[in-house]
Amino acid sequence: MTETTLTQDATVILERAHFQQLLDALLQSGYRVIGPTIEDRAIVYESLSSVEDLPIGWKDQQEGGTFRLEKRKDQALFGYTLGPQTWKKHLYPPNVTLWQAKRENGSFKITPPEEDRQPLAFIGVRACELSAIAIQDKIFLESEFKDPIYQQNREGLFIVAVNCVEAGGTCFCASMETGPKASTGFDLALTEVIDGEKHYFVVNIGSARGLDVIKAITVRTPEAGEVEAAEARIAEASQNMGRTLETEGLRDLLFRNIENPRWEAVADRCLTCGNCTLVCPTCFCATIEDVTDLTGQHAERTRRWDSCFTMDFSYIHGGSVRYSSRARYRQWMMHKLASWVDQFGTFGCVGCGRCITWCPVAIDITEEANIIRQGDVAKTKEA
């Protein structure tokens, strides 16, 4: 395929054998390339330099409170669904020094932290994760107060999305209408197809930058049936979601069920450990820690991921507002599925299922919502 024939709306084929070229093109363009790799028997998002760093031939089995990696029968590069980590780890890091201060001549001098200006390229962003990034963009970039750290990491970010051709055991992106196919927000979107001896990626180009990268690597025109094979796999994934969540009237349902007895039942199981919020790709709460050293000459301000499940989170004069775990779980779930709609115009949940898989005791947001729907106070009043 010659460069001149390529346009942004073209669909091209990247052979598995040429996949390294994609990584090399991004690395040579100066990006820090981050993507899925195996660490401690799970998928994590870390720096990549070689296609060999990808979780080749692995898949994940996910259920509530359980994640296991297993060997696949094929050598798929993206044959897993999702690991515990989210891209917010890189866009909105968990621990950041905001500034340091030093006493000087009766006053003090503030030093900003050293900045890492290397642009990021994410490889393997799932459709639900693209939605999550769009939600965090709205919070950090599109409100009156922009977050400079997020903004710096987000600007220049190159996104290679990978469409899901298999759904995970706790996935419900189809219910949330965020996947499994990436529709917007990427520079390139790949769909991996393994068909007998054939192993290729159908590539959709989402931006001029994406087009430039594609022009720099070996791709070809699709043959008959190749694009259709990819679409069929995505459609199949859509039908095989491990979880479903009925979203019809969900916001109003939850608001009128604020005193539903189900909240007590979930509180009996909830550990208030905060895991669900820290693995959630949209949760954005942080706390600020100010410390001084022993001499009193230096001070430092740090921002850390926080969670609405901690007592400090709602601590005001006199105590914590949400003392009970019932109040804390309800606050979190109702924010995701009800008040987020009022606040930001969408659900705060993208259906990735991480809060289900990584809850140490397998509390399932879809199950809780469905049970509340069954025991809807509106229904019980009628009866």
Partner 1 sequence: MATTQQKPKLAVWKFASCDGCQLSLLDCEDELLAVAGAVDIAFFPEATRATMPGPYDVSLVEGSITTEEDIERIQMIRQSSTFLVTIGACATAGGIQALRNFKDVKEFVDIVYARPEYISTLEKSTAIGDHVFVDFELRGCPVNKYQLVEVLSAYINGRKPITPSYSVCMECKRRGTVCVMVAHGTPCLGPITHAGCGAICPAYNRGCYGCFGPMETPNTSSLATWWQQLGVQDVDIVRAFRSFNAYSEAFRKEARAHEHQE
Binding site for partner 1 (CB under 8 A): 39-42, 44, 65-69, 83-85, 89, 94-95, 103, 268-275, 278-279, 289-296, 304-305, 307, 309-312, 325, 357-358, 360-362
Nearer to partner 1, 360 or 375 (CB): 360
Q: Does an H or E element contain 371, and which? A: helix 365-374
Nearest distance from C-beta of residue 358 to partner 1, angstroms: 5
Nearer to partner 1, 54 or 230 (CB): 54
Pairing state of beta strands 198-205 and 11-15?
antiparallel
- DSSP letter string over 176-243? HT--SS--SS-SEEEEEEEETTEEEEEEEE-SHHHHHHHHTS--BPPPTTHHHHHHHHHHHHHHT-S-
Which phi and psi angles does 369 have, rounded to 5°? -65, -40
Selection from 354, 373, 371 nearest residue 89 by Cα: 354
Nearest distance from C-beta of residue 35 to partner 1, angstroms: 15
Nearest distance from C-beta of residue 369 to partner 1, angstroms: 20
Cα–Cα distances in angstroms (integers) from residue 282 to residues 130, 198, 232, 296, in the given order: 11, 37, 29, 37
Nearer to partner 1, 216 or 362 (CB): 362
Nearest distance from C-beta of residue 329 to partner 1, angstroms: 11
As given in the structure block, the two tokens for residue 335 are: 């924010």
- Tell me: cis bond preceding 112? Omega within 30 of 0 counts: no
Nearer to partner 1, 259 or 312 (CB): 312
d(CA 112, CA 101): 9
Nearest distance from C-beta of residue 34 to partner 1, angstroms: 12
Pairing state of beta strands 32-39 and 120-125?
parallel
Nearer to partner 1, 218 or 292 (CB): 292
Beta strands in 6-138 (DSSP E): 11-15, 32-39, 42-47, 58-63, 66-71, 95-104, 107-111, 120-125
Nearer to partner 1, 125 or 280 (CB): 280
Cα–Cα distances in angstroms (integers) from residue 28 to residues 35, 40, 339, in the given order: 16, 29, 44
Q: Are 166 and 79 in contact (CB under 8 A)?
A: yes
Expressed in angstroms, the distance from the first to the final Cα of the chain is 67
Nearer to partner 1, 213 or 270 (CB): 270
Nearer to partner 1, 275 or 282 (CB): 275
Nearest distance from C-beta of residue 261 to partner 1, angstroms: 18
Nearest distance from C-beta of residue 314 to partner 1, angstroms: 12
Nearest distance from C-beta of residue 360 to partner 1, angstroms: 5
d(CA 375, CA 364): 17
Nearer to partner 1, 1 or 299 (CB): 299
Nearest distance from C-beta of residue 307 to partner 1, angstroms: 7
Longest dimension (CA), the chain: 76
Pairing state of beta strands 107-111 and 319-320?
unpaired
Nearer to partner 1, 158 or 358 (CB): 358
Nearest distance from C-beta of residue 124 to partner 1, angstroms: 17
